[in-house]
Structure 1
Amino acid sequence: MKLILTGSTGFIGREVLSQCLQNPAITSVVAISRRDLPAHEKLQVALVEDFLSYPDCIRDQLKNADACIWALGKARMPNNETARIVSLDYTLAAVRVFQDICQQPFRFIYCSGGAAERDQTKSLWFMQDYRRIRGQVENELLVIANKHPGFGVYILRPAMVLARDMSLRSLAFGLGPSVKVDDLARAMIRLAMNAANDVERNIWENTDINKGL
């Protein structure tokens, strides 16, 4: 299986990459990244300057992939314009490329967030703009999935993501909904490999992730 990964230098993406490289069923990982990564026999790095543009040399590296795990993002966005570019524009630009050059059926695994709001008119009491942007990404991806049956979209909506060695009981913020990063990565990989119990679903909540899908 050939898998595309974004966000491989981030908190979640690093864990996904580590598990992918250890998984014998995944024969090739292409990491789309702005900077190089440590060498590994299964890893290719597609170095990009702009996540809105994929020149032919990058497309050649991505060609014929079976799935993508999209874990690109920032913990804190400086403003709504940046949030829209990173969350929405980068994602949709990549999806258009994947539809052109990758295998069919193709599985696109998107790491969203438990607070994302798909109802663009709903009044929210905190981070309303960013939550609506994340919800808009989900809406756009689901429209694409409905229009293109060969392009499967699976959205994971984790709450607080904790390091694998953190104890849920020892942290005050762990009292709320949370998931450990290794469990989240494992769930995304299972969906990418079409190995979940119910791949007809599009959205997986934090409780689903903690149950192992």
Structure 2
Amino acid sequence: MKVALFGATGMVGQGVLRECLRDPAVSQVVCIGRTPLGVQHPKIEELVTENLFALDQIEDRLRGLDACFFCLGVSSSGMSEESYRHLTYDLTLSAASLLARINPQMTFVYVSGAGTDSTERGRSMWARVKGATENALLRLPFKAAYMFRPGVIVPLDGIQSKTPSYRVLYSVLGVLLLPLQRRFPRSMSTTRSIGLAMLEVARHGAKSPTLGPADIHAAASAATASRSGDSL
């Protein structure tokens, strides 16, 4: 399986990249972003571009992909709705529309968030924009599209958030988050479980196009079981 990965330097993207590199069924990971990864691996093909709205310039290098894991995102804190929508809705749909056109058999997996507003009419600005983004992605002619809505995410395997305020928060709450995640695995997600779940739905699909924390946990568990069976 050949996959595209947006946002590989972010906290969630790092976890997804790790699981892709560990998965023997993944032969290539095309990482698209504005900054270099700083990671060398035979599976990785890195496409660094300053303008993610102009992916048509590297269109030929994005053909023949089986799945796309879109983990790119920004915090809405301090942003106007217009600016947040441009960097969330407009950017995601620009990339996804091109990929749907050149890879119609692709499965597209998008990291959204718990509380996303599918009606697009609620009070929360970020939730409306995320809801509009999800709805637009589900209308594109992909083989399948799935919206991941994790709640609290626990970083594992030495992964850290790029956002300074989040790093501080995780450093303060880190001693509490992992025990809580272990006790309530269906209510919280880890960077590892999100990566495993994305690979699982890319291969085998899911019952619903929208996956919350419990669904992510179930898909990750299925992926882990499949890996264990393959190694026997």
Under TM normalisation by the shorter chain, which class is it? 0.7 to 0.9
Provide the C-alpha distance between the structure 2 equivalents of 1:44 and 1:77, rounded to a whole number of angstroms. 32
Unaligned runs of 5+ in 2: 158-173, 221-232
Provide the C-alpha distance between the structure 2 equivalents of 1:120 and 1:40, rounded to a whole number of angstroms. 41
- Residue among 130, 140, 144 paired with 1:134: 130
Structure 1 residue 158 displacement after superposition = 0.6
1:167-211 CA-partner distances (Å, limit 9, x unpaired): 54756xx9894211211111112112x235xx3521111111122
Q: Which residue of 2 aligns with 1:156?
A: 148
Matches within 5 A, 1:1-213: 1-37=1-37, 38-56=39-57, 58-79=58-79, 80-102=81-103, 104-122=104-122, 124=123, 128-144=124-140, 148=141, 150-164=142-156, 166=174, 168=177, 177-192=187-202, 194-196=203-205, 199-212=206-219
Checking the alignment, whether the CA contact within 8 Å between 1:77 and 1:83 is kept in structure 2 is no
Checking the alignment, whether the CA contact within 8 Å between 1:3 and 1:29 is kept in structure 2 is yes
Return closer, same or farther for 1:21/1:212 CA change in 2, 3 Å cut-off.
same
Structure 1 residue 85 displacement after superposition = 1.6
Structure 1 residue 41 displacement after superposition = 0.8
Calculate percent identity across the aligned residue pairs: 29
Structure 1 runs (4+) deviating above 3 angstroms are 75-78, 165-171, 174-177
Checking the alignment, whether the CA contact within 8 Å between 2:114 and 2:150 is kept in structure 1 is yes
Structure 1 residue 76 displacement after superposition = 4.8
Letter of the aligned partner of 2:94 in structure 1? Answer: A
Return closer, same or farther for 1:185/1:32 CA change in 2, 3 Å cut-off.
same
Q: As a proportion of its length, which structure holds more helix?
A: 2
Q: What secondary structure, in the 3-state scheme, does the structure 2 residue paired with 1:212 have?
A: helix
Letter of the aligned partner of 2:215 in structure 1? Answer: D
Aligned residues: 199
Q: Report the TM-score, using the length of structure 2 for normalisation.
A: 0.78
Q: As a proportion of its length, which structure holds more strand?
A: 1
Letter of the aligned partner of 1:52 in structure 2? Answer: F
Provide the C-alpha distance between the structure 2 equivalents of 1:208 and 1:55, rounded to a whole number of angstroms. 34
Q: What secondary structure, in the 3-state scheme, does the structure 1 residue paired with 2:125 have?
A: helix
